Amino acid sequence: MPNSRSNKEEIFVAIILYDFTSAPSPRRARILLAEKGIDVETVQIDMMKAEQLSDEYRKINPGCTIPALKLEDGTVLTENAGIAAWAEAYKPEPSLLGKTPEEKGLVATWNAKVEFEGLMAVAEALRNSSPKMANRAITGPTNYVQIPELALRGKERLAHFLDTLNKRLEGRDYIAIDQFTFADITALVTIDFAKWVKVAPGENHGNIKRWHAAVAARPSAKA
Ligand SMILES: N[C@@H](CCC(=O)N[C@@H](CS)C(=O)NCC(=O)O)C(=O)O
């Protein structure tokens, strides 16, 4: 895990993103950092090999989740919300968390709503049904058995979330305020993650489809 390089004049310590390319949560961080134009080195933590549970990674994030962002001073941020707050303070432009008190309140509100009602619903459906996640129904160092009823409930919650999001996007280009924000990033990742449980916006979700086509076309979506 190389994290520094030196020359005669200075020691350069890189910011490191502990990442796993195919997982949704680190994708939120990658899109956010790409929108901000913040350069980081990435270290892949292979969830297929359970590297998030390894002794080595536990030293970085005892919570055993990805992403984690290690800053130049060694501080480690282990939540997307924390990474977003740091990034906004570190590089205020372009703003992704809103500028005025009202905007900041709306972005935080919609980001939380999308995360808890959408992203967590997909996770609930997937983690309680996928054979690959037997005993891993919840992230972290403790094993939890799957509860099949929760997989069904997750899909029900996801259906309600799609209706809520579609309604919010009526006549709007972005979810929280009149510009692209962290709430759009969380929702983009959620809609793409929903494919893992075979759920996609339907014929009655035209606003989501229009919004998704626009945000998925941003270069950061490929990060
Ligand atoms: N609250 C965290 C969630 C991070 C999270 O759940 N990451 C998943 C990957 S998408 C993970 O680390 N899973 C580890 C596991 O399944 O054991 C955040 O927003 O950053």
**Of 3-12, 45-54, 107-116, 168-177, the least confident:** 3-12
Is 69:76 a contact under the CB 8 Å cutoff? Answer: yes
CA pair distance 143, 137, nearest whole angstrom: 7
The residue length of the chain stands at 223
Centroid of ligand 1 to alpha carbon of 62 (angstroms): 12
Does residue 136's CB lie within 6 angstroms of at least one atom of ligand 1? yes
Domain parsing of the chain, residue ranges: 4-90, 101-222
What is the structure's pLDDT at 9?
A: 62
CA pair distance 175, 211, nearest whole angstrom: 9
- Tens of pLDDT, residues 62-81: 999 999 999 999 999 999 99
Q: Which atom of ligand 1 is nearest to the CA of 140?
A: 17
- Tens of pLDDT, residues 166-202: 999 999 999 999 999 999 999 999 999 999 999 999 9
Flag whether pLDDT at 214 surpasses 70.
Answer: yes
> What is the rounded average pLDDT of the residues 92-119?
98
- Tens of pLDDT, residues 134-155: 999 999 999 999 999 999 999 9
User: Which CATH entry fits the domain spanning 101-222: 1.20.1420.20, 3.40.50.10490, 3.10.580.10, 1.20.1050.10?
Assistant: 1.20.1050.10
> What is the rounded average pLDDT of the residues 41-55?
98
CA pair distance 44, 65, nearest whole angstrom: 12
Best mutation site among 21, 22, 25, 128 for ligand 1 pocket (most ligand atoms within 8 Å of CB): 25
What is the structure's pLDDT at 56?
A: 98
What is the structure's pLDDT at 11?
A: 79
Flag whether pLDDT at 8 surpasses 80.
Answer: no
Query: Is residue 131 classed as helix, strand or coil in its secondary structure?
Result: helix
Centroid of ligand 1 to alpha carbon of 204 (angstroms): 31
Q: Which burial class, exposed, middle or buried, applies to 207 when counting CB atoms under 10 A from its CB (0-12, 13-18, 19+)?
A: middle
- Tens of pLDDT, residues 22-33: 999 999 999 999
Flag whether pLDDT at 4 surpasses 70.
Answer: no
* Local confidence band at 14 (pLDDT 50, 70, 90 cut-offs): very high
Q: What angle do CA 82, 51, 6 make, to 5 degrees?
A: 65
Is 98:43 a contact under the CB 8 Å cutoff? Answer: no
What is the structure's pLDDT at 80?
A: 98
Nearest to 139 by CA among 61, 55, 59: 61
CA pair distance 111, 181, nearest whole angstrom: 9
CA pair distance 49, 117, nearest whole angstrom: 29
Strands 76-77 and 4-6: unpaired
Q: Which atom of ligand 1 is nearest to the CA of 23?
A: 10
User: Which CATH entry fits the domain spanning 4-90: 3.40.50.300, 3.10.180.10, 3.40.50.880, 3.40.30.10?
Assistant: 3.40.30.10
Q: Report the predicted TM-score, pTM, of the whole model to 2 decimal places.
A: 0.95
What's the gap between Cα 204 and its chain centre?
26
* Local confidence band at 12 (pLDDT 50, 70, 90 cut-offs): confident
Phi first, then psi, for residue 2 (nearest 5°) are -70, 130
Flag whether pLDDT at 5 surpasses 90.
Answer: no
CA pair distance 201, 40, nearest whole angstrom: 33
Whole-number average pLDDT of the chain: 96
